[in-house]
Amino acid sequence: MKKTIKVLSNIITAVLFINLILMAFLVVSSKASGGEPQAFGYQLKKVLSGSMEPAFQTGSVIAVKPIDSKERTTLRKGDVITFQASEDKLITHRIIGVTTSGDHVMYETKGDNNKTADMEPVLSENVRAIYTGFTIPYVGYFIDFAQSKEGSAILLIGPGLLLLGYAAFSIFQAIREIEPKSKNRDSEEKTA
């Protein structure tokens, strides 16, 4: 029984510690990159609209791989790209047509759930990344929360407090186990 409790205790400690590290990584990564967290060379983007449903749902997180200027001109019909639509707006849509004019390449894009193609063609210079096929549903809502001041505080302080609370509980349990043993020894010494 004691061995089971010890194993369970170690598992809980590990889970809380990993949670603390993961939350710190997400919050720090999203702040350092200017909004979107990054992991292993991939950017994690939040899906803010339903234009690409059912490929990915609103509130999902998708992984996109940033591409260089050479790769921007070699994209094909069917690729899902993230492009700069305006100074402060990124869009992720599927390429439905490619037009080449000398050294310039333009992509016609469309959201899978949209009835019509996007109004403006996308210049290859405006393409920032390509979708990797990795999607996690509903995590975008969590990242939005993590990027807020309140969310950052809760997600960094919360797991730390849980870990400290659990450590205090473990210390209290250890002291409770030691006290009966020391009382038994004291009573044995008095009778001897």
pLDDT 10s digits, 37-71: 666 778 878 888 888 888 888 888 888 888 887 88
Considering the domain architecture, whether residues 137 and 78 belong to the same structural domain is answered as: yes
pLDDT at 152 over 90: no
- Within a domain: residue 19? yes
Residue type, 181: K
Domain that holds residue 168: 1-32+148-180
State how far the Cα of 108 lies from the Cα of 4, in Å rounded to an integer: 60
Considering the domain architecture, whether residues 21 and 65 belong to the same structural domain is answered as: no
Structural domain count, the chain: 2
Q: Assign residue 40 a region: left if phi > 0, alpha if psi is -120 to 50, beta otherwise?
A: left
Q: Which of 14-18, 38-42, 56-60, 125-129 has the lowest mean pLDDT?
A: 38-42
| CA angle at 77 for the pair 72 and 82, rounded to the nearest 5° | 50
Considering the domain architecture, whether residues 128 and 153 belong to the same structural domain is answered as: no
Given pLDDT bands bounded at 50, 70 and 90, which one contains residue 184?
low
Q: Assign residue 177 a region: left if phi > 0, alpha if psi is -120 to 50, beta otherwise?
A: alpha
Distance of alpha carbon 117 from the chain centroid: 30
Q: Which residues are catalytic?
A: 49
Q: What pLDDT was estimated at residue 109?
A: 93
pLDDT at 190 over 70: no
CATH number at residue 49: 2.10.109.10
Given pLDDT bands bounded at 50, 70 and 90, which one contains residue 23?
low
| CA angle at 30 for the pair 26 and 32, rounded to the nearest 5° | 120
Considering the domain architecture, whether residues 51 and 124 belong to the same structural domain is answered as: yes
